[in-house]
Amino acid sequence: MPSPSRTQVGIIGAGPAGLLLARLLKVHGVESVILEARSRDYVEGRVRAGVLEQGTVSLLEEAGVADRLHREGLIHDGVAIGHSGHPIRIDFKGLTGKHVVVYGQTEVTRDLIAARLAGDGAIVWEAADVVLHGITDDRPRLSWQAGGEHHELACDFIAGCDGFHGVSRQSIPPGALTTYERVYPFGWLGILADVPPCSHELIYARHPRGFALASMRSPTRSRYYVQCAVEENLDAWPDARIWEELKLRLGPAAAAHITTGPSIEKSVAPLRSFVAAPMRHGNLFLAGDAAHIVPPTGAKGLNLAASDVHYLCRALVAFYRTGSRDQLDRYSDTALARVWKAERFSWWMTTMLHRLHDEESFEAQMQRAELDYLASSRAAQTVLAENYVGLPF
């Protein structure tokens, strides 16, 4: 067995959370090694959403990886909430002075990988059978298999950034975590197509047939979603059916500007809200989807991962500069305070806009009343806007 290698922070997962943490640590003089179970091609090819809060953009700027984002990202000063065929525009800029940037998570990942491979440190691709050892000890270790050989890494801290199904959270002993979960009884059928968007801003629509969303990846690539059954058979949804359903649910104003075309990717994603607390066990710190999941309705997933990284990076840097563990000890409470606010917003957006009950039910009337109030109240629109553009870190 080879002798253990050594680093300051061992990071599990080369998604946006792990890559951004590694990059920011490097900027501040802290070394790390990243272990990733998948190949580079797989990681760079994952199709994900990408609505970035200004706080996330600022972190990417601090990390020195925002040049392409600023060239290609689409600035959105508002969003439309469709209601009874009449969209309500929420003016982010006018209500909060802020905006969001549409820039795909895939592109963020590629930018961060390029920076990492330019000299920041190692990424171990296709690291199999990762095991965490001694996470409550002063010197935790990671072991894995790669290239037919056993490897070990000694470190001061472990950052678990390996997603909902990763090994990090599963390595915390039973009873040490409390989990909170809401599984929604529907999914999103998503279609990606090389056609211009139907609107220059996102459109969220509530319709008696179910929710729909019009979004984009670029001025020539569109991403659309319709609410569907979790167990939906994709074969039952040829492109023509999806386009017709989108035109119906998004309403006539949007339908008049929808350009149809062949899909280049199609999938069904389940929706859930999930939180694991605390986000620390000994010298293991969870960040991103390893600790929490939000339904995509509020565009918070990537941004919550970024806020976790913000808090964890500051805590680690403070430790290496001063020896103080104060911020490390507060990490979970600090991160969870923001996580729960984002969970609330994502849950609220989801329950307000999706078909959850019969259209003649009391609950459906409450959804309509909520949207009517949103349409008539600047205060209600401000609440939505300040949550959507992102609460401060």
- Give pLDDT tens digits along the chain (393 positions): 344 599 999 999 999 999 999 999 999 999 999 999 999 999 998 877 789 999 999 999 999 999 999 999 999 999 999 876 678 999 999 999 999 999 999 999 999 999 999 988 889 999 999 999 999 999 999 999 998 999 999 999 999 999 999 999 999 998 999 999 999 999 999 999 999 999 999 999 999 999 999 999 999 999 999 999 999 999 999 999 999 999 999 999 999 999 999 999 999 999 999 999 999 999 999 999 999 999 999 999 999 999 999 999 999 999 999 999 999 999 999 999 999 999 999 999 999 999 999 999 999 999 999 999 999 999 999 999 999 999 999
Clarify whether 296 is annotated catalytic: yes
- β-pairing, 123-124 with 32-35? parallel
Whole-number pLDDT of residue 46: 83
* Domain annotation covers residue 208: yes
Same domain, 36 and 160: yes
Catalytic member of 300, 310, 311, 354? 300
Same domain, 120 and 241: no
Token pair, residue 293, equals: 């999941």
Same domain, 218 and 332: no
Contact 110, 19 (CB under 8 A): no
* Domain annotation covers residue 89: no
* Domain annotation covers residue 54: yes
Same domain, 250 and 313: no
Same domain, 29 and 125: yes
Before 270, cis peptide (omega within 30)? no
For the domain that residue 206 is a member of, what is the CATH number?
3.30.9.10
Same domain, 291 and 262: no
Whole-number pLDDT of residue 2: 46
Could you tell me which residues are beta bridge partners of residue 117? none
Contact 90, 388 (CB under 8 A): yes
pTM (two decimals): 0.95
Catalytic member of 16, 26, 76, 140? 76
Catalytic member of 103, 204, 225, 331? 204
Same domain, 109 and 51: yes
Whole-number pLDDT of residue 175: 94
Token pair, residue 245, equals: 């359903």
Catalytic member of 296, 311, 331, 354? 296
Same domain, 20 and 144: yes
* Domain annotation covers residue 84: no
Domain count, the chain: 2
Same domain, 300 and 253: no
Contact 278, 133 (CB under 8 A): no
Contact 13, 167 (CB under 8 A): no
CA 241/CA 249 separation, integer angstroms: 12
Other CB atoms within 10 Å distance of the CB of residue 96: 18
* Domain annotation covers residue 324: yes
> 202: domain range?
184-271+355-389
Whole-number pLDDT of residue 4: 53
- Is residue 363 within a helix (H) or strand (E), and if so which, with residue range? helix 362-376
* Domain annotation covers residue 94: no
Residue listed under structure tokens 């963020």: 108
Clarify whether 266 is annotated catalytic: no
* Domain annotation covers residue 49: yes
For the sheet containing 141-146, what is the strand order?
5-6, 149-154, 141-146, 128-133
For the domain that residue 144 is a member of, what is the CATH number?
3.50.50.60
For the sheet containing 263-277, what is the strand order?
88-91, 78-83, 203-206, 212-218, 221-228, 178-193, 263-277, 292-293
Whole-number pLDDT of residue 3: 43
* Domain annotation covers residue 66: yes
Residue 128: exposed, middle, or buried by beta-carbon count in 10 A (0-12, 13-18, 19+)? exposed
Same domain, 294 and 309: yes
Same domain, 235 and 175: no
Positive or negative torsion for Cα 148, 163, 327, 60: positive
Clarify whether 388 is annotated catalytic: yes
Clarify whether 373 is annotated catalytic: no
Same domain, 135 and 104: yes
